[in-house]
Amino acid sequence: MQRLWRHARLATLVDGGWGLIEDGALVTEGEHIRWVGPLAALPASMEIGEEIGLDGALVMPGLVDCHTHLVYGGDRAAEAEMRLNGAGYEEIARAGGGIRSTVSATRAASEDALLHGARRRAQALMAGGVTTLEIKSGYGLSLEAEAKCLRVARRLGREVPVQVRTTYLGAHALPPEFEGRSDDYVDAVCHWMRALHAQGLVDAVDAFCESIAFSPVQVARVFEAARALDLPVKLHAEQLSDQGGAQLAASFGALSADHLEYLSDAGIAAMRAAGTVAVLLPGAYYMLRETRQPPVAALRAAGVPIAVASDHNPGTAPGLSLPLAAHMACTFFRLTPLEAVAGITHQAARALGLHDRGLLRAGLRADFAVWELNHPNELVYWFGHDPCRAVVQGAEVRT
C-alpha cells in the first residue's frame, strides 16, 4: 500500500545542503520511500491508500547513532563523583573503578537484566529521533560474556522498534584473568570472533588502539581475523595519544576511526584515501574535561566524511541524547550545524556501512523523525529537551 505523508516541512539533506521543501510530502510503499517533493507536485499516478497529515511539522531523516556501548551492567556514578572531586585515573582504578568494574557487573548480570537496562537507554535515544543505532560489546571480555552481550543487542533489535547493528569489541580492555598476558588475550579475542560470527552475532569488529589498551601490532592481528571472516572493521583511535591507529584502520579499509583527538596529518591522508569516516565523540571529550580537540578543520579540508555519535557508555559518556552530542560537536569542535546534522544522519549511516538511510530520497528506507521545529538548524540550537514528536521506521510510526 502506498501511504502519503503530507503537509510537512521536509529537510531531505540531499545534495550536500538542507534540501528544504516547504509544504512537502512523502509517499512510502512497504518500508521504503517511493516519492519526495512538494505536495502540489504529487504525481496523479500515485495510488494512495492512506494519508497522514503532519500539520507543518519538520520532517528529517531518522537519526543514526553509530557508536554506543549500550549493553552493560551497573553504573559508574561513584567513579564519576570521584573524578569530579579531583581523583585521577590511577586512584579510581585502585578503588575498583574503570572498565573492569563494568566488566564485573556485566558478567554477573542476567541477559534479561541487561536487556532491561539496554531497552531503557535505547528508548531514550529513540525519543531523541534515533531510528538506527550501533551497539558494541566489550564489557564481557570472555567468550560467554561477550556472547551474552551480543545476544542482548540482537534481542533489543527484535523487541524494540529500532534498527540495531552489532560490533564485537573484545579488544576493549585486558580482563583480570589475563593480567600480564595481553598477547594471549588477543589470541583469545580472535578465536572467540570465529565462534561469535558463526552464531550470527557480529556485524563488525572494533578494537581500542591505545597505550593503555592494545598496540597497533595486536590490533592488526584482530583485524586480520576479521578480514578472514569478511567482517568490516572500526577502531577507537588516537583518543589519548597518536598510535598510528587511523593509518592502521585505513589500511584495512575500516568503516570508521573514532575519537581522533590526536589524529595526525598522515592519519587524515590515510583515512581520505580509504574512505574511512571520522566519528567524533564530544560526550567523552566533555565528561573527561579534555582540552585537545580533533583536527576538524584539517579533516574538512581533506574531504574526510565526519560523523558524530553519543558514545553512550557508563564510564566516560553516559549521555542519551544524540541531538545533544551534535550540539556539543558544534560548540566544542566547531562543526557547522549542517555538518553536525549530516554527521548524525547520512554520514553516521556511512560509518556503519549502511547506504540505504540518512537522507529523504526515493528508494531509501522510510526512516524519518517528526520534529516540533521550524528549521533543522534548531536541532543543534536547543538543548536540554528533545522536541521529537515521533519517529517513523520502515514507514511505521514507532513513537
Does one domain contain both 209 and 196?
yes
Measured over the CA atoms of residue 29, residue 35, residue 37 and residue 38, the dihedral's sign is negative
Does one domain contain both 327 and 384?
no
Does one domain contain both 316 and 225?
yes
Does one domain contain both 371 and 287?
no
What CATH number is given to the structural domain containing 57? 2.30.40.10
Does one domain contain both 127 and 265?
yes
Does one domain contain both 293 and 202?
yes
Number of domains in the chain: 2
pLDDT tens profile 319-374: 999 999 999 999 999 999 999 999 999 999 999 999 999 999 999 999 999 999 99
Percent of the chain with pLDDT over 70: 99
pLDDT tens profile 109-122: 999 999 999 999 99
Residues of the domain holding 377 = 2-61+359-397
Mean pLDDT of 142-165: 97
Does one domain contain both 385 and 332?
no
SS3 of the chain:
CEEEEEEEEEECCHHHCCCEEEEEEEEEECCEEEEEEEHHHCCCCCCEEEEEECCCCEEEECEEECCCCCCCCCCCHHHHHHHHCCCCHHHHHHCCCCHHHHHHHHHHCCHHHHHHHHHHHHHHHHHCCEEEEEEECCCCCCHHHHHHHHHHHHHHHHHCCCEEEEEEEEECCCCHHHCCCHHHHHHHHHHHHHHHHHCCCCCEEEEEECCCCECHHHHHHHHHHHHHCCCCEEEEECCCCCCCHHHHHHHCCCCEEEECCCCCHHHHHHHHHHCCEEEECHHHHHHCCCCCCCCHHHHHHHCCCEEECCCCECCCECCCCHHHHHHHHHHHHCCCHHHHHHHCCHHHHHHCCCCCCCCCCCCCECCEEEECCCCHHHHHCCCCCCCEEEEEECCEECC
When pLDDT is cut at 50, 70 and 90, the band that residue 386 belongs to is confident
Does one domain contain both 91 and 159?
yes
Q: What is the pTM of this model?
A: 0.97
Does the structure show a pLDDT above 90 at 6?
A: yes
What CATH number is given to the structural domain containing 119? 3.20.20.140
Beta bridge partners of residue 116, listed in sequence order: none
Does one domain contain both 48 and 69?
no
Does the structure show a pLDDT above 90 at 98?
A: no
pLDDT tens profile 181-222: 999 999 999 999 999 999 999 999 999 999 999 999 999 999
Does the structure show a pLDDT above 90 at 226?
A: yes
When pLDDT is cut at 50, 70 and 90, the band that residue 90 belongs to is low
Does one domain contain both 27 and 108?
no
Does one domain contain both 331 and 303?
yes
Does one domain contain both 29 and 131?
no
Task: Count other Cβ atoms within 10 Å, centred on residue 321.
Answer: 23
